[in-house]
Structure 1
């Protein structure tokens, strides 16, 4: 039978007090542990941000990595039972040996360049043999070539309009009409305008530097005059830009990206307000590059860029949310960019000290898997779309399954606000768009081509920094569109702009402007 212990009321109250105190201590201990975990997580995030800032300031900017191409199709361990060992197209997996560039051989100069021949001869007193004193005879020449530069030469074109008068009266005076110019009564010729435009929009030279360069050769023209001329010719080319945009929106595949731009004088906006320049380019048909200025980057403004796009077209973008609304509104096939996904994990890996990096690091595992996707694309770059489609279906689809499984397994254990957590969040949100490229051999895996097209603008922006007015921003967008479209079509931008500026004043109808499109100059 149980033993009964008699205790007094005072003793019972003391035991209850001890129990309550112990419970309070336990709760305080749990709260302290929760606070410690929170503080530890915040400390780790702060250290990660510090390492990120240091890497952005002092670290390498390149994201290039070894894609492990020799092991591209050796995926038995990674793919496991999902791999398809049979029926593999051995012709697709054959890889030629890498041809290394020979060093020590100078590239010959262009044979089309004009050549000046300078003949070097021995003095007559030295044209005798040192052994028997006989006169030497010419048996050949040894040639070497140097590239010479003739500095810019300025000239003034003086237009003389002849005046005629009747010898019998004072009423029959006639003057030869002035030729039509892109800038009526403009100070700069079409050739000079094209030279300045290519200097800024192709080579990133600010206008004030070009003004200083012209002064070296006697052309004392202010940078304000040059800037006003660039605005005039940029806006005058708007009809051609409109036709370029119509052709772009009719393409089957379109890339799109945006970057920041500062405009100082815009009604209702402070000079420090950020504006944007959008880049759109075709991925099929005629290569076209179109740049557009907008005061913001909301859905309403972005949607204007796609007004008139063909229904069912394919659009490749980053993960910016308004692109999703545009794709739904215009019934587009929306593809996601794997380069933007990889960038998150590259940043997360970069914050880990090199001594602590191992192949099992989660960010490194994602980078390696994404690298396999890009290696497959690099391998099939010159293949037909049908053959590339077979590779994607047999290989890339299985790599995507591994990425998806790893994403689901690791998402719950990562701090959401960390760099790695941001990468996993972005990957989950973009996943339906990221895997769509496997459906068609013509669809791209990334938005890299558009980023490459917008890079000249970003490089030039470091020199000229901002646009003074909205008209200047629109003119710059137009001239960038013309220059980059010329480059994409293998046309010299200076030659095209000179050709365009001469013919623009003569154009009156839509057909006249259509004949001035960059790729139409090849048939001129």
Structure 2
């Protein structure tokens, strides 16, 4: 008689007909094990296909829900609608679409008017031979591209001496150059950095583009420029980290970043960690690590005892155990969007139960889409009044499912949610805590898109340089700053700054000073620190 030949989720052993179990109970056990295995394999395949080929955002519309979950979601929508009416807020139409149109955008910084008039011969009327007179005009707008221009700047530094006493000779020094004895100007460096970190152009493509423009720049040269620029910005990166740590919440996530091991020519999988500051400290900070362990987080967040919003990772468990001398420790908040995806994956197996969970979670997100626009105290009060009862109902349902559900993707979603529960409910305690960690995932998308083009970092030092430069570029994009303009100005004026002077180059401070200067009747002249 054959024994039970498989463990849950392990690959079933091939069995010959004469080796089948002898009893019905043993056959049932074998069949259940096989069903568990194939269900688990199918789940992994769906997740793999979704992560690789499909969108990672929620894809189940409310109209596709059924049962009590959909009913709860509809009641929640009505409650929020009534809440808005009571506050005198007029809802915009949900079917409003952004128009396309043929109008040229107004973002062009230069404008040219071309007048099109008849020649003297065409002005004559063919009937009476009298010159026609203007009777009106029509105007259309066109957007045109002017090819990039490069110019060679020769710096002539004059030397001066006193003919009477032959005292020390004085030289009129040229402006500071970002790369000592190098020939890239600040604007060219800013362009190369922005092309790679904002537009994800690998250096070999930039080399080809420069070649087409008649500028023979090798990718090895461009790589050295990037590393040297990152060294210039490292103090600014440190200051951005310091300022972000002054906030009440840090958004955190990570993704992989392969890099080449020096001297071996082999790639190793490192990590890029993201640390996002709050709206008062709006910095998107990236840090490269040669491993994927949580040591990088512990080092980066050392001394921070606010809220850290993450996904379901366990790499930060040791960090959340650290206490200061007063017994304070950081607070772990977790992401409801990840919970939603787990139940969305379970919908194919247990549709009714999954729809109920999805309806509850959609209700929480619908409440928060309005609550988070309110002042913090009002947001928290609305969450306590509308979201908390839903969370309590969800917890009761999860506990019941954990006891009775079959070992399928639904039970996997239930156990994941219960394992994250203490972090998931933190949004009920703090009005500034978001329901999701999507901002971190969006910030890491820049790394993912870049990685698809760059493939890997050339070295560990190259990974560090990329993280520093990505920090500045993506923070500029978060603040709607032109990264190229910002980087050029900082490269031109920042060297020699003291720490206090360095604060003016923080992207948010830089933008505020620039906006103030543009609206002032007497804009202040920007000068170098030294």
Category of TM-score, reference length = shorter chain: 0.7 to 0.9
1:88-103 paired onto structure 2 within 5 Å: 91=86, 96-98=91-93, 100-101=96-97, 103=99
Provide the rounded CA distance (Å) in 1 between the counterparts of 2:493 and 2:321. Answer: 41
Match of 2:333 in 1: 335
Structure 1's 103 and 110: CA in aligned 2 closer, same or farther, altered over 3 A? closer
1:31-430 paired onto structure 2 within 5 Å: 31-53=26-48, 59=54, 61-67=56-62, 91=86, 96-98=91-93, 100-101=96-97, 103=99, 105-107=101-103, 109-110=105-106, 113-127=109-123, 135-163=131-159, 176-177=172-173, 179-266=175-262, 271-309=266-304, 311=305, 313-330=306-323, 331-349=329-347, 360-416=351-407, 418-430=408-420
8 A Cα contact 1:127 1:136, kept in partner: yes
8 A Cα contact 2:70 2:355, kept in partner: no
Q: For residues 478-514 of structure 1, give each alpha carbon's deviation from its aligned partner in whole angstroms, at most 9, with x where no partner exists.
A: 111111222223322111111111123332x222323
The partner residue of 1:454 within 444, 454, 461 is 444
Q: For residues 425-474 of structure 1, give each alpha carbon's deviation from its aligned partner in whole angstroms, at most 9, with x where no partner exists.
A: 21010011111201232221111112112211211111011111122111
* Shift in Å, 1:48: 3.9
8 A Cα contact 2:250 2:277, kept in partner: yes
Match of 1:12 in 2: none
Match of 2:523 in 1: none
Match of 1:4 in 2: none
8 A Cα contact 2:104 2:143, kept in partner: no
* Shift in Å, 1:250: 0.8
Provide the rounded CA distance (Å) in 1 between the counterparts of 2:400 and 2:503. Answer: 56
* Shift in Å, 1:517: 2.0
Q: What TM-score results when the alignment is normalised by the length of structure 1?
A: 0.82
Provide the rounded CA distance (Å) in 2 between the counterparts of 1:505 and 1:295. Answer: 29
1:467 aligns with 2:453: no
Provide the rounded CA distance (Å) in 2 between the counterparts of 1:336 and 1:199. Answer: 34
8 A Cα contact 2:43 2:345, kept in partner: no
Q: For residues 344-383 of structure 1, give each alpha carbon's deviation from its aligned partner in whole angstroms, at most 9, with x where no partner exists.
A: 122333x56xxxx8xx532232222211111111133422
Structure 1's 186 and 518: CA in aligned 2 closer, same or farther, altered over 3 A? same
Q: For residues 291-334 of structure 1, give each alpha carbon's deviation from its aligned partner in whole angstroms, at most 9, with x where no partner exists.
A: 1111223233320010232x3x1211112113233223151222
Provide the rounded CA distance (Å) in 2 between the counterparts of 1:75 and 1:387. Answer: 27
Structure 1's 220 and 452: CA in aligned 2 closer, same or farther, altered over 3 A? same
- Secondary structure of the equivalent of 1:329? coil
The partner residue of 1:498 within 488, 493, 496 is 488
Provide the rounded CA distance (Å) in 2 between the counterparts of 1:75 and 1:415. Answer: 23
The partner residue of 2:503 within 501, 514, 517 is 514
8 A Cα contact 2:251 2:308, kept in partner: yes
Structure 1's 140 and 35: CA in aligned 2 closer, same or farther, altered over 3 A? same
Structure 1's 260 and 162: CA in aligned 2 closer, same or farther, altered over 3 A? same
Provide the rounded CA distance (Å) in 2 between the counterparts of 1:261 and 1:303. Answer: 19
Q: For structure 2, which runs of at least 5 residues remain unmatched after alignment?
A: 1-19, 324-328, 514-525
Provide the rounded CA distance (Å) in 1 between the counterparts of 2:382 and 2:102. Answer: 39
The partner residue of 1:432 within 422, 431, 443 is 422
- Secondary structure of the equivalent of 1:142? coil
Q: For residues 247-284 of structure 1, give each alpha carbon's deviation from its aligned partner in whole angstroms, at most 9, with x where no partner exists.
A: 011111111111111111258x9834321111111124
* Shift in Å, 1:75: 9.1
Q: CA RMSD in A?
A: 3.5
Provide the rounded CA distance (Å) in 2 between the counterparts of 1:95 and 1:431. Answer: 35
Q: Which moved more, 1:37-46 or 1:480-489?
A: 37-46
8 A Cα contact 2:73 2:359, kept in partner: no
Match of 1:16 in 2: none
Structure with more relative contact order (C-alpha pairs < 8 Å, separation 6 or more): 1
Q: For structure 1, which runs of at least 5 residues remain unmatched after alignment?
A: 1-24
Provide the rounded CA distance (Å) in 2 between the counterparts of 1:228 and 1:26. Answer: 68
* Shift in Å, 1:163: 4.6
Provide the rounded CA distance (Å) in 1 between the counterparts of 2:83 and 2:145. Answer: 56
Higher-Rg structure is: 1
Provide the rounded CA distance (Å) in 2 between the counterparts of 1:437 and 1:140. Answer: 63
* Shift in Å, 1:95: 5.8
8 A Cα contact 1:279 1:289, kept in partner: yes
1:442 aligns with 2:432: yes
Q: What TM-score results when the alignment is normalised by the length of structure 2?
A: 0.81
Structure 1's 53 and 327: CA in aligned 2 closer, same or farther, altered over 3 A? closer
